[in-house]
Amino acid sequence: MGFPRSGIVLTAFSFVSLTLLFYVYSFSFVSASITQQPLVQQEYQEHHGKRVAIIGAGSGGSSTAYYLRRFAASYPVNITIFESKSYIGGRSTTVNVFDDPSQPVELGASIFVTVNHNLVNAAKEFGLGVSDTADSRPDDDNVDPLGVYDGNQFVFRQPRTEGKVADWWSLAKLLWKYGPLAPIRTKKLMESTIGKFLGMYEAPLFPFASLSSAVEEAGLLEATTETGAQFLEKNGITGGFATDLIQASTRVNYGQNLGLIHGLETMVCMAAEGAVSVDGGNWRIFSGMVDASKADARLETKVTTLKQDSEGGKTWLVTSVGPDGAVVEEEYDTVVLTSPYQFADLTVSPIARTPDKIPYVTLHVTLFTSPRRLDPGYFGLQPDDVVPGAVITTLNATEQADEQGRWARGEGKDGVGSVGFFSISTLRSLVNFNLEPSEDGVPKGRFEYLYKVFSPEKFSDKQLHAIIGAKDSDDAKVSWIYRHVWQAYPYLYPRVTFEDPILGENLWYTSGIESFISTMETSSLMGMNVARLVVDGWTKEGEQDMQL
């Protein structure tokens, strides 16, 4: 999901625009300006209201509702959103550190970027403040902001720099290590690839009834039919720059190595810069979209059955179970399923085309707080050294070459390598007041650090104690832990065809885009695309009725 990105940013040289971000799901692109299509005459609008059911209130569902309301303008539309969870946002959600509502932290989709017009414009429209994710990190002069660790050593460390002279020195060190060709070629390849993708936001590709056709017409099949490693090598990008930096990006973003993930998603990982997040949580964008759509949002309400009202009928009977256990059956003209079909747990009858069942990455997220910094000894550093604030990972040289890249093609624990995790981020410093008060009853506060770990398996208490240098649980000083497991995003294997958004007559689907690109913005793009197709269909239907 698309999915949560860590908010880890590599800015060693701005002209290459190498941003290492994690989210399934929070990557965004510039959306083209959308021209309102002509609607049917007002007389038709006044007498033929449409009822739309949207299943799921994540990025795809919220965007579908939002753009339906925009595209339909004064067209009478009644939108109902069914969401089985207790919140809006899907895989974009927060939890409260120390159970303190003033200390939210992203559990899912963590960041988006300043060129992401769908999300940026929505945040502005709803009056939501945004903050640079790097601004919240502990401000230590002697801490490098980022390092790439392979289980044996740091193969790359981005030095902390301030000022143009320092930035150029940092750039010189990077080019000395990897040479100038790979960074320049990566930038050119990224710009070319993403430029093709941006065509999907505007005519003649937008709106697209066939995602497979749109991908082909956009000229992106070369990038989706090859692994990242193959795509990079074909374009002259090899060696340490690919395995150290680009692969670290695909791992932190999608939990996948270059030998598995397709070339397009590899370029997606290298395309973003200027990472920001919404104050209070990115879910507020999608909550704002739902509010703007004037939809009837039914939380903790699960849809169990979709059934056409009769053979050859055009409307759908939607059966749902609310939080009180009451079963309700209602009729809708259009249904949009936005959750991945394989996880939706509902019966659809009939369905013209069943979406493929595809494997998703099981991602373990561990949030914890401690007064301890990451332990230099754990990472093979000298005791007086300081671990970088964000540690992202890659395979070591032996694993990368093992049996022609067996590890590089592996999934989950079979692909993570000896390092055992995808990233460890020091998110920010805070004060823990959840301590025993002093004898005079005054609450005591302790300065601590908030960490986030992404791993393919549960990151145990023992592992947490190890990375902060604690000898046993009594000495651990881990004051707060929150664990969650996501089916975060698909394994983005190379592929030629993709799920189309039409599952049957008046039955639509948005999550098919995830095996193409899995991000918050692309889910929003598909919601916008489906909304446009639905309204265009109503327009055509109304025009035909008026001709009779």
Contact call for residues 200 and 29 (beta carbons, < 8 A): no
* Residue percentage of the chain with pLDDT more than 90: 70
pLDDT band at 111 (very low <50, low <70, confident <90, very high): confident
List the single range of 158-167, 401-410, 411-420, 429-438 with lowest mean pLDDT: 158-167
pLDDT in tens, 523-532: 999 999 999 9
302 or 109, higher pLDDT: 302
Burial of residue 247 (number of CB atoms within 10 Å: 0-12, 13-18, 19+):
buried
**Beta-bridge mates of residue 157:** 147
| Sign of the torsion formed by the C-alpha atoms of 523, 185, 110 and 124 | negative
pLDDT value of residue 271? 80
Measure the CA–CA gap between 516 and 492, rounded to whole angstroms: 7
pLDDT value of residue 119? 85
pLDDT in tens, 220-230: 999 999 999 99
pLDDT value of residue 345? 93
pLDDT value of residue 545? 66
Q: Is the pTM of this model over 0.85?
A: yes
118 or 340, higher pLDDT: 340
Would you state the structure tokens that stand for residue 410, as one six-digit string? 């592996």
Average pLDDT, the chain: 87
pLDDT band at 302 (very low <50, low <70, confident <90, very high): very high
Tokens 């592992």 belong to which residue? Answer: 463
pLDDT value of residue 167? 64
pLDDT value of residue 109? 81
pLDDT value of residue 25? 36
Measure the CA–CA gap between 370 and 246, rounded to whole angstroms: 31
Q: Is the pLDDT of residue 4 over 50?
A: no
Q: Is the pLDDT of residue 208 over 50?
A: yes
Q: Is the pLDDT of residue 19 over 50?
A: no
Task: List the Cα angle 373/159/468 in 5-degree steps.
Answer: 15
pLDDT in tens, 413-422: 999 999 999 9
Q: Is the pLDDT of residue 464 over 90?
A: yes
Taking residues 205-233, report their average pLDDT: 97
Q: Is the pLDDT of residue 140 over 80?
A: no
